[in-house]
Structure 1
Amino acid sequence: MGYELVQVNIGRLRAPLDDPSLKGFVDGLEPINALADAAPGFVWRLQTEDGDATSVRAFEWDVHDSAGVLINMSVWTSVETLAEFVYSPGHLAVLKRRREWFHPVKEAFTALWWVPAGQRPTPADAEDRIRLLRAHGPTPEAFTLRIHFPPPGSAAEEPVEGRPDWLCPA
């Protein structure tokens, strides 16, 4: 049986999506999603039937003093293909601006895990994995790009340290 990698990341909004201070973020959603959709190793991303990921309701327990929580969840063929997209110039330019639009989060706000190929995760699955990572740190059930695990049934089952160029992109 093959496995695919799920990634989820959440952000606590500094303002509602229709606020002018989030215009740069909102205007960048469609191009970044198109970049992801065309990236090698991309399989699927969470969105409504209308193609809108911003209207998916999840993580309402994690709002704190923010204007709401956005969830981004996608499935990739491997840790390597996900990392190549995350640190690609187009995505990295947006990633570097995240503090303009989102509150800093001290707890884990992104998690990765393996699912059988073809299985699509739910927002409830994502909430469970973020909670697991926050409670226990990286494990085979919920991990990060910095410390990740191979798919179930792999010869090596020990954690793998992410490549330095993933962690400190130019």
Structure 2
Amino acid sequence: MQKQRCRWANPANPLYLRYHDEEWGVPCHDELRLFEMLNLEGAQAGLSWETVLNKREAYRAAFDGWNAELIAAYDAAKVEALMQNAGIIRNRRKIEATISNARCYLQLKQETGGLDAYLWGWTDGKTVYTDGVHVATSPLSDQISKDLKKRGFKFVGSTIIYAYLQATGIISDHDAGCDWRHKA
């Protein structure tokens, strides 16, 4: 019997199906992945997630395995090199936002222990389950977005943060008919 997945999971793209089945909506406590996903969700602004997902490995290579200490030290020459990298989305504002976010992340890590403690602190360590009716934002994404912006993060509007919370399993939002609904 064929598995039922969320409507957005493109059945023609094995990478996308694996992402849906193994990552999306699964509670994440891995600091490196939380940092990666925050930046990838920002890179996705105005584009499809599938576009970013297909470039994920190139992003990992281009941004030093998402090592925030290295990224925070990037200079203008590195930005220019990234602008020439056809494997990533060559948008200067998004590239510069990633560098800025690395610096903000290092500060957040000193203050809160990192994204894991920070994000899960908003929900007392519990996943928020939805009714399967998709929305673009929530009061939770509004609050986190506002706080991250105050901390200097970029490309962290409420819609981006809602998608980020879904991707990292803080919000479980699989379609009502999806076989992965409430599995995590």
Answer yes or no: same fold by TM over 0.5: no
Q: State the TM-score, normalized to the length of structure 2.
A: 0.28
The structure, 1 or 2, with the larger RCO (C-alpha pairs under 8 Å, 6+ apart) is: 2
The structure with the largest strand share of the pair is 1
The structure with the largest helix share of the pair is 2
